[in-house]
Chain A
């Protein structure tokens, strides 16, 4: 039997030093044993590197940022669907997830499937709700507080010891050793992501991450733990290795079972010197290091698409320990005519 032909749209083609997951997601899909995919890249910016990678995308469309309004955003997606007959969309940006979750039913009625967490799951695990989340599911989380103004910064001493972490609601995290540094980071973050800004207790230890996929019924379809080996000045992994930490896999399975998590996720966890695990963040989407999981034997993008189109997907039972990813930068040569076409017509 031949492979199933699918048209899949993917966002997050920004393969920069703060990479989006789009390109590695596409690599996983192109290596699928089940699908023969046509990839439609959805780009917000003209210089997202994935746009210009010939073996990665078959066609690219510009889309408006969700902040420009849900209607404009959805109209554009519908237009692209009318041209490309999309079967599945894999959104990869935190900032667009809310819009896609809201539009899931409407797009589903048009035949475009999305496999994302429910709105409740999405909200429940948000950074500002993390303390409640930890309490509800019996998982240690660092103490944190959401703040919205300078006035709150003066009161932090009553609740936190320095250093502490200052985090944006979607991205960015900075360590601050005094209130002046908090003000500095607060300004930087609010200019980019708005309020609230989250202040989080700093837990000393080793950072470990788990990439996982839940089927929405409580089953963990895939879970691969990784330790960052090389971290950029933006805190992003530039190299990492799969590890055999059974406690991490257990913790992940428990979390997915308890929340009945639907879709991809990344757990960011600190293991302290007493071997206690603190959940510091849940990213409600596939992370940029997903290709390591593919290399270790769990093709998460493929499994996610199978779930999206309604297939029954058996859980992966194992992964290879000691598989490493090492990122690199690479200069492609483009031409102004490509840039012109994308800028003027919104397509390439």
Chain B
């Protein structure tokens, strides 16, 4: 991570911590919405940006996580934040099961499969699969989360919960990007054949990317369920997957700060245009089109890591000290 990015994160963090002092409840809630989409976009970025797998079914994993937490909470009384890791785990297992047969597909074919996956999950939820999802009405009466004995209820409190999780996520994902795993994904995205030839197990890495991305989407889903206290299938429509896909592409596929900026723009813009009422989605669409024409590589595009001269010899065996 370079210094400029670090300063950027620090400024954003300070601004967010102070935000409730200057903003009203609605504006803070918009920031919460941004936070949730930043998490979703980062989770998809792992699959789409880092591994280069065209996935337009991210809402499916999001839904699995949200429903897992909601069912655990309403049926078994598990506190929401305890249900969060279970949500992530279940979403990851689900992703591995459904992605295993299709993960070798090339870009556009995989895209079609994932679109189908998203729809299957949504329709299964509408049809009250296993009799636990509540059908089209969804699940209601989800408890608010408790953190250190404090009930999280107001938009301000959720701001700290959501953005706290964002901070953890950003830190971990930056570490991941620089790890062997992250570099392998980059290699795989740029040239799968060469990666395979160099001893990278492409299927395994792709599946891991899918699982990790799904786990994060699942955990985000559980926060969403806790915040809304009600979830229903229309929150996990195909459009939701498209929006998240859009955030990644718009911000700069593969770039963590880029994806975050993309999410912020996609969420905030329709809110700014609220006064245009019915025309707001039209204006939103036009802005998207112009942006894509002017900056096809994304707002903050991914930059290939550069190694300084000092980085390389570190891993080489040291020459024997002269006697």
Asked whether A and B interact, the reply is no
